[in-house]
Amino acid sequence: MEASLNGTARNIRVWRSGDTEYTETRVYSIRRQGQAVFTELTRNALQRAQVRMLEGILPFNLKKAEPFHSGYLSGFQAEVQDMERVNFEADVRKEAEEHTKKLLMDTVSGHTGFSADSFYTSQQKADWHYVLLPVWILTYRKKEELYYFAMNGQTGEICGRLPLDYRKPTLRHLCRSHRTDHLTGRIAVMKLQKRTVWKKVLLSVLLVFPLFAADVRAGDAGLLPEENEARIYDDAGLFQEADLSRIAEQIGDFRAATGMDCAVATTDDAGGKSARDYADDLYEQQGIGTGDSHDGLLYLIDLDNGEIYISTEGAALRPLTDDRLDRILDRAYEDASAGNYADSALTVLQDAQSFILEGIPEDQYNYSSETGEKDPYRQKGFPVMALLFGMTVGTATALITFFTVRSSYRLTWETYRYPLSEKSRLQLTRSENVLVNQFVTHRKIPKNPPSSGRSSSGSRTTTHRSRSGRTHGGRGRRL
C-alpha cells in the first residue's frame, strides 16, 4: 500500500538568563511517503460462525501451511466457506490504512509535538488466499441453550463461554469464607450455613437495590465518558505522544477515584476570549462533567493570553475552594512557566483529586461574584451517612463475591489484535523535515508567583456565570 503523510511538528526550547526567560519555538513541515506491506490480515469466511469466539483462538502459524489435499479431511467434518472476498475488502483496506498511518507516524520523532494534517493511501496489490484451518468446535447443551467452545488445533488455545449456575459456586465460596469452629457437627453446620448464607446474600441484594435504583433514576447523564475518551484537547500542540499517554492515565485515575469528569486543554489562539471564558465555553461545548450538575474540572494552558486556568462545575465547586485552587496553581505554575506543560497538567489532576477525596471543609460556602450571595455548605446528618455506608458495604460485598466466582470459572475470551511489528514492513521513499518558522518570545521572571487575588477565607468558593448562564468556579494564574 502506497501512502503519504503530511503534518506539522514543533520543537520548544526554554532557557533563562538573569531574570528573563526565553522560549524558542521551531515549526517544521513534516512529509512522509512510503510503501507498507502487510501479511496475514485474517478474516473468518463463515457467515454462521461466532466471529468473536473464533477470533479468540487466533493466530495460526501460516508459515506451516501446506497445499490442500482432500486426504487431510478423512474422518473429519469440515465447513466450506460461504463468504467471498468482496465481503471483506472494505474492512481489510480500512485496517491496512490504519496500520499504515501508525507506521508512518512512528517515523516522526525528536519533536515536542506533532499533528497530522493529511493522509492519503492507494492500494497497489492485494493477494487473497482461502485457508482451511484446524479448529475443534465443541458444544454443550444446558436446558434449551447451546454453549460453544473453539480450540485452535495448532496451538491449543481455547475460547468460549462456560454454562454456570452462579448459585452453587457462590454458595460454596461464601460458605468457605465463614468460620464454623463455634458450632458442632460439620454436616449440621454446612446445612445451617447454606440457609444463613442465602439470607446474607438476600440482605446484600436488598442493601444494593436502593443504591442501584438511585443510579437508574439519574439516567445516562450520570455516567462517566468511555474509557478511551481521554478528554485531551491539545490545540497548541504542546504534548508529545508519551505525555498524552501519561495524562490520559491520570484522567482515568481521577475519574475512578472521584466519580467526576476532568479534561486538559491547550490553545495558542483563544479567539479574543479571556482564559476564563475560553475554559468555560470549552467545558460546556465538549459536554465535560457527570450528572445533571456537570461535576468535574478542566485545566487550560492558554498561551494566547499567557495564563493557566482551572474551571470547575457541579460537585467539584465545594471541595475545590479558592484557597485550594490557588495552592494547586502555585505548584502547576512552576512547571508551566518552565515549559513543562505535561507535568503541570499532571500536578493539577493529582492535587485536585487529593483535595476532592479529602472532602469539603466544614465552613465552606459558595460566594457569587455577581450578586454577593453566600450559599453555605450544609453537612449531611449522621443517619444518612450511616445508611449510605451500609449500602456501599453491601454493594461491595455482593459485587466482590459475584465477580470472584465468575472469574474463577470463566474461559479467556479476548479480541485478536494484529501483531503489527511482526506482520508488517515499511519502506520509506520520502522523508522530509522542513523548518518553516522560528521565533523566540521572552518574559520577565517574577520573584514570587503572581497572586490571582486569594480569598481571605480558606473555605470560600467564588462562583460566576458563564456566557451560557451556567455556574462555574475557577482560578487563573498569569504566566
H-assigned helices in 58-185: 89-105, 167-176
Burial class (CB in 10 A: 0-12, 13-18, 19+), 246: middle
108 near 32, Cβ under 8 Å?
yes
Q: What is the pLDDT along the chain (479 residues), one digit of tens a residue?
A: 899 999 999 998 888 888 888 999 999 999 999 999 998 888 878 776 566 677 778 888 888 888 888 787 777 777 777 788 888 888 888 989 999 999 999 999 888 888 899 999 987 788 888 888 888 887 878 777 887 778 888 888 888 776 666 555 555 544 444 433 333 333 333 333 334 444 443 443 444 444 333 333 233 334 455 544 678 999 999 999 889 999 999 999 999 999 999 999 999 999 999 999 999 999 999 999 999 999 999 999 999 999 999 999 999 999 999 999 999 999 999 999 999 999 999 999 999 999 999 999 988 999 998 888 999 987 655 556 666 777 888 788 777 876 665 555 455 555 677 888 888 999 999 999 999 999 999 888 765 554 444 444 568 999 999 989 999 999 999 98
What is the C-alpha to C-alpha distance for residues 399 and 418, in angstroms, rounded to an integer? 34
What is the C-alpha to C-alpha distance for residues 147 and 139, in angstroms, rounded to an integer? 6
pLDDT value at residue 379: 66
72 near 41, Cβ under 8 Å?
no
Q: Tell me the β-bridge partners of 453.
A: none
pLDDT value at residue 476: 94
Length of the chain: 479
Could you tell me the three cell numbers for 219?
A: 439516567
Tell me the CA distances in angstroms from 380 to 159, 222, 273, 385, 478, one per residue in order: 50, 21, 39, 7, 38
Q: Radius of gyration of the chain from Cα atoms?
A: 30
pLDDT value at residue 131: 86
Q: Which residue in 363, 367, 333 sits closest to 347, CA to CA?
A: 333
Contacts of 54 (CB under 8 A, 6+ apart): 44, 135, 150, 159
What is the C-alpha to C-alpha distance for residues 315 and 329, in angstroms, rounded to an integer? 20
Could you tell me the three cell numbers for 226?
A: 468511555
Query: In this structure, which amino acid lies at residue 333?
Result: Y
Cβ count near 212 (within 10 Å): 12
Q: Is the pTM of this model over 0.85?
A: no
What is the C-alpha to C-alpha distance for residues 324 and 458, in angstroms, rounded to an integer? 8
Q: Cα dihedral sign for 242, 245, 251, 256? A: negative
pLDDT value at residue 342: 93
What is the C-alpha to C-alpha distance for residues 113 and 107, in angstroms, rounded to an integer? 13
Could you tell me the three cell numbers for 168?
A: 452453587
pLDDT value at residue 55: 75
Could you tell me the three cell numbers for 210?
A: 436502593
What is the C-alpha to C-alpha distance for residues 416 and 441, in angstroms, rounded to an integer? 49
Q: Is the peptide bond before 59 cis (omega within 30 degrees of 0)?
A: yes
Could you tell me the three cell numbers for 211?
A: 443504591
Query: In this structure, which amino acid lies at residue 210?
Result: P
CA-based angle 24:26:32, to the nearest 5?
Answer: 160
Contacts of 160 (CB under 8 A, 6+ apart): 53, 56, 138, 147, 148, 149, 150, 411, 413
3-state secondary structure of 7: strand
pLDDT value at residue 19: 81
pLDDT value at residue 75: 78
H-assigned helices in 167-231: 167-176, 186-218
Q: Count of alpha carbons within 13 Å of 284, Cβ hemisphere only? A: 15
In the 8-state DSSP scheme, what is residue 228? T
pLDDT value at residue 268: 93
Contacts of 277 (CB under 8 A, 6+ apart): 466, 467
Could you tell me the three cell numbers for 230?
A: 481521554
31 near 430, Cβ under 8 Å?
yes
Query: In this structure, which amino acid lies at residue 436?
Result: V
